[in-house]
Structure 1
Amino acid sequence: MMSGSRFAFRIAQAVGFTGAAWLSVPAIVTSARENNISPKVTCKLWRNMYEAGKTQNPPIAVVTASAFAYVAWSVRRNPTLFVSAAYGGFGMYTAAAVLTLSIVPYTLAAMRNTNDALLKLADSKGDLLASRAEVEALLDRWTTLNWIRSLLPLAGGFAGIAAALL
């Protein structure tokens, strides 16, 4: 095996591990309770964070999953790339790719209603007022769902690390 292939393999591993770790860090929602921020402003702040995450996270997930998929393909194509990887690296790296990329369908399926409710409140022109308790309940729900979502790429990162250590 050429040293260039080993180098590409290690780079793909590093991208996979780093990307999975990055996506596993849950976003922090500024608490309206601590700063006495109005429910409307709180929703607008959340929307800004949501829009940044919506733009940033899917491409990171795709690059990370692609790196894991490349490593899985490399191990399957050439099991002697790393002797230890021949014992299950393909399956573990594939799992890492799938787990990391699964944040996209999870977000669309599990978080859509909460996201839509918060976006509706953030975009309202004053005709749709929400109580502080309602906004805090939605933000608590979103935080829980986002925490669960963050476990997917974290599990992917662990699967990739486990495959590398086999």
Structure 2
Amino acid sequence: MATSQITLQIARAVGIAGAAWLSGNIAALSLISVPALNTSHAQDSVSLSTITHAWKHTYAKGKSQNPPVAAVVATSFAYLAWASHRLRAGRSMQLYSIAALLTIGIVPYTILTMSSTNNKLLAKSKKASSDAEITRAVSPAEDKETSDLLKKWTFLNGIRSTMPLLGAAAAALAALA
């Protein structure tokens, strides 16, 4: 069965636009959301306990939303790699394969490089939610540790946001080849 041009165009649009959107969605957390939370702490004296609660909800939304989007986008790129192989377009096949791997790569990247930081921040959020913690004064060392964890998370997440963006760029090059 021949691969139709319309199917390839739809897969390209879903893949490239989806990867670019995913990159922006992830980057917004590092460029807007977490810095805004940190500003609330620094300028408005919002406790880091409250900040970790807000971060926890942001994290949960991203965890439920981004991996399925990455899977759909990577599937589009994998289909394009397969179709390129069938059409004997070797360079395009390689670029679409790279795009698929970069996009779905946010999942293992998160597990391998961010889990420790995520788990520490989630533990701080859970600890802060107890009644005893709300009334307990937090030491400057604990505040610094939480602040450092948020900064580390922001940096690691910023790196993660580049993966689907690079995937979109690879797919765009493949589409032009």
Q: Which has the higher helix share?
A: 2
Give the AA of the match of 2:96.
Answer: Y
Choose from 136, 143, 162 the match for 2:154. Answer: 143
Structure 1, residues 72-119: CA drift from partner, whole Å, max 9, x if none? Answer: 11111123xxxxxx2510000000000000000000010011000000
Query: 1-side partners of 2:156 and 2:44: how far apart?
Result: 23
Structure 1, residues 122-149: CA drift from partner, whole Å, max 9, x if none? Answer: 1112459563322211110000000011
| Structure 2 unaligned blocks of 5 or more | none
Partner of 1:46: 55
Give the superposition deviation at 1:5.
Answer: 1.1
Query: 2-side partners of 1:122 and 1:19: how far apart?
Result: 31
Establish whether residue 101 from structure 1 lines up as the match of residue 104 from structure 2.
yes
Partner of 2:66: 57
Establish whether residue 156 from structure 1 lines up as the match of residue 155 from structure 2.
no
Partner of 1:82: none
Q: Identity of paired residues, percent?
A: 41
Partner of 2:8: 9
Establish whether residue 74 from structure 1 lines up as the match of residue 73 from structure 2.
no
Which aligned segments of 4 or more residues in structure 1 are displaced greater than 6 angstroms? none
Partner of 1:83: none
Which range moves more in the overlay, 109-118 or 30-39?
30-39
Which range moves more in the overlay, 120-129 or 69-78?
120-129
In the alignment of these two chains, the number of paired residues is 159
Query: 2-side partners of 1:7 and 1:161: how far apart?
Result: 17
Give the AA of the match of 2:110.
Answer: T
Partner of 1:117: 120
| Structure 1 unaligned blocks of 5 or more | 80-85
Choose from 125, 141, 145 the match for 1:134. Answer: 145
Which range moves more in the overlay, 94-103 or 130-139?
130-139
Quote the RMSD (CA, aligned, Å). Answer: 1.8
Give the superposition deviation at 1:18.
Answer: 1.4
